[in-house]
A and B are shown apart, each in its own frame.
Chain A
Amino acid sequence: MSANNRARRTAAAFQNYAVLIVAALLMFAPIYYLLIGSLKPSSEVLNGFAGFLPTDLSLDNYVAVFRALSSDASGYFWQFMANSLLISIVVVVGGLLVNSLAGYAFSRLEWVGRDKVFILIILLVIVPFESVAIPLMALMQGQRDTLLVQMLPFIANAFSVFLFYTFFLNLPKSVEEAAHLDGLGAWGTFFRIVVPNAKPVFATVAILTFLSSWGQYLWPSLVTSDPAVRPLPLEMGVFSDREPADWGQVFAFGTLLVLPVLVVFLIFQRYFVQSVAGSAVKG
């Protein structure tokens, strides 16, 4: 390789890294800003680029957040957090079970009307939740102010079914056929052969479902009023709707709201990346 070629390759690599570093900084900046802002006095948060500087750091904003949500009247921070976690975990676990079975049934099993039913389910992807929120609310009036009403409508999910369906289509059938020959039934094949080979799509669906469930806002605001069952995102308004707005507390609450999402993503990110790079998401 000539010196010129090496120089060109080095320059190209340098350019690539420069672009990637800038992109990474742009992605990381809001999270860093959120974290730093949560540790600074409110007056120093929205302060241009100085807002990024780690000055006057303390945990005062976090203390204020916990204090604001610490009575029977307002509810308790940890109670809201526990509600959100419980709701999200049930929706994720339930969703993985229900939607993967549906996706498997559509991709592998032969039954009358399968394709027509599949098209109907896929059509549901384009229906925005806001358009069905009101009839759904009327349907579930008897369950107001319960955790169940915040879980049930979100377990079955058309997009998750679609993700599982496309992933299962690309799994080699021969493995399942071998399992059948070895005496495994449909259930055994699914749980002992298919599921272990479908970790990426399970991780993807888990992350996407957790994200949407954790961030639920409209639905719980329609069906809950009791702090004992309300999820955490509804309490953001306690801090953001104040006058004057205390941005340090808003950022502290935002940080506490984002942390569980980051943890879940870090746990599943290896599979998630595999899934995005593989066939599931791009179909």
Chain B
Amino acid sequence: MTITRTMRRGMVAAVAFTATALLVTGCSAGGSGAAAGDGAGDIDVWALQGQDSENAALQAAVDGFNGSQSDVTAKLRLIASDTYTTTITSTPKDQLPDVLQIDGPTLASYVYNGKLTPISDHVSQETIDNATAGSIAEGTADGELYALAQFDSAMGLYGNKAMLDAAGVTYPTSIDTAWTAEEFETALSALSGSSPSGKALDLNEAGLAGEWGTYAFAPFVWSAGGNLLEDNTATGALDSAASVDALTQVAGWKPFVDSNADSKVFPDGRVALGIGGHWNYPTYSEALGDDLLVMPLPDFGTGAKAGAGSLTWGIGSGTQDGKAAGAFMDYLLNDESVTAMTQANGAPPATKSAFDADPLYKEGGPLALFGEQLANACASDDITDTCVAVYRPITAGYPTVTSQFSSALSAIWGGADPAKALGDAATSIDQNFADNDGYQQ
């Protein structure tokens, strides 16, 4: 199981390095150089170069916008995704484009460094009102709306019905009936006993030390009642008993996990369960057909949780024509553009109207459970028992948070003491926040 561009990998780590550059090139809080402009002329648009189908959808949106009016001409620049964040963070504010794609978890870092300008004055209220709660949560920093997304991401537990039935394992059919941690481990034991490989689970082991680790495994910490940060502090949250218990439980799955060296272990039917995202659905459904099950992650005590968040769109603080940039974003977030993009990449739409109409995620659709998770979304500093999809912490210090958490997770998976690994990670995070004055504006 691998990771998609819609979840993003490596980008946050890139921020960690290049954020240093901002100390040299000058950083300031909040973008203040933006001008409303007259809504006419050329605007630059930067985006990640993704799948051919995504690029085509984006180019079609740009062409559609340019053809829909005569005042503004948008020029698209696609940048390879693994250098995208480095490019943005190392580009001076006045040389950033008018409109740019942003990885959700890096938004606060850009805001902190003054790279983005609030969009409420530029984007229409109709567009803002049509954004999903998740899109708003992900695009808001310090109480201001800086970005809106075309699509979100969703993840959970995939199952092979035939293998589960053969092992006599019953499985959850809704979020409310998610396996408990104990039930999940019992299922793993039964499934590995009946599997030819002796393994039962793919959890993308190779990605644990990267962004996948935080995206897919922080939900277990949240579900257990722990957290990565509370009141901008990791000590007491990340190293709490609940967090330690959660990752101790996860580490206990190791004997049942296939390392998935060829990326085919789940679709080839060598394990019955796989933790993955919406991006796996096309491959899995083609391989397993009606045997493919979509289930929530196990409930570690306070209800099942899941990762969420993806790429979003903002306006560069150096724009001299916020009006034109806003008009382009309005077009980019209309039903036609959003639907074209989500049909291209299979991601859940991040606008209400497109989401409600999406046959994959609406009630009765094959990924309806993912849709339900996103309909019950929250930020990580406002987690409730009913919330399922949780967005990663929105803080300029997120690169440090995710780096420390995923490193600790990887160490724990490798046999390190969970309490010590998480305690060390919490100390490092708090030290980084202290060194940066808590990343206060």
Interface residues of chain A, those whose CB is within 8 Å of chain B, are 46-48, 67-68, 71, 73-75, 134-135, 137-138, 141, 144-145, 217, 221-227, 234-238, 240-245
Contact = CB atoms under 8 A, between A and B. Distances in A.
Contacts of B59: 71, 73
B262 A47 contact: yes
A238 B87 contact: no
B80 A225 contact: no
A74 B3 contact: no
B166 interface: no
Interface of B: 2-6, 9-10, 18, 20-21, 23-25, 46, 49-52, 55, 59, 62, 76-83, 86-87, 90-92, 95, 262-263, 279, 283
Given A222-B21, A227-B77, A237-B81, 19 more contacts: A47-B262, A73-B55, A73-B77, A74-B49, A134-B24, A144-B92, A145-B95, A222-B90, A223-B90, A225-B77, A226-B77, A237-B82, A238-B49, A241-B9, A241-B10, A241-B80, A242-B5, A242-B51, A243-B3
Contacts of A141: 25, 92
22 contacts: A46-B263, A47-B262, A73-B59, A73-B76, A74-B49, A74-B78, A135-B24, A137-B24, A137-B25, A217-B83, A221-B87, A222-B86, A222-B87, A224-B87, A225-B77, A225-B87, A234-B80, A236-B82, A237-B49, A240-B82, A241-B82, A244-B2
A200 B52 CA distance: 46
A74 B55 CA distance: 9
Contacts of A241: 5, 9-10, 80-82
A114 B247 CA distance: 60
A46 B262 contact: yes
Contacts of B82: 236-237, 240-241
- The majority secondary structure among interface residues of chain A is mixed
Contacts of A245: 2, 263
B283 A244 contact: yes
Contacts of B50: 242
B24 A138 contact: yes
Contacts of A71: 59, 78
A234 B77 CA distance: 14
B91 A225 contact: yes
A243 B24 contact: no
Given A243-B2, A244-B263, A144 B21 contact: no
B25 A138 contact: yes
Contacts of A238: 49, 80-81
A75 B18 CA distance: 24
A80 to B, nearest CB: 10
Contacts of A222: 18, 21, 86-87, 90
A137 B91 CA distance: 10
Most buried by A among B10, B86, B263, B279: B86
A74 B78 CA distance: 5
Contacts of B9: 241
B83 A237 contact: yes
A278 B308 CA distance: 59
Contact of B20 (A47, A134, A144): A134
B153 to A, nearest CB: 11
Contact of A225 (B5, B6, B25, B79): B79
5 closest Cβ contacts across the A-B interface? A237-B82, A243-B4, A237-B80, A221-B83, A138-B24
A243 B77 contact: no
A46 B263 CA distance: 9
B224 to A, nearest CB: 29
A137 B80 contact: no
Contact of A234 (B25, B83, B92, B263): B83
A221 B85 CA distance: 9
A275 B24 CA distance: 42
A238 B51 CA distance: 8
B400 to A, nearest CB: 17
Given A237-B80, A243-B4, A243-B279, A134 B21 contact: yes
Most buried by A among B3, B80, B86, B92: B80
A206 B46 CA distance: 37
A221 B81 CA distance: 11
Contacts of A75: 78
A160 to B, nearest CB: 27
B394 to A, nearest CB: 24
A144 B91 contact: yes
B59 to A, nearest CB: 6
Contacts of A135: 24
Nearest to B62: A73
A241 B24 CA distance: 29
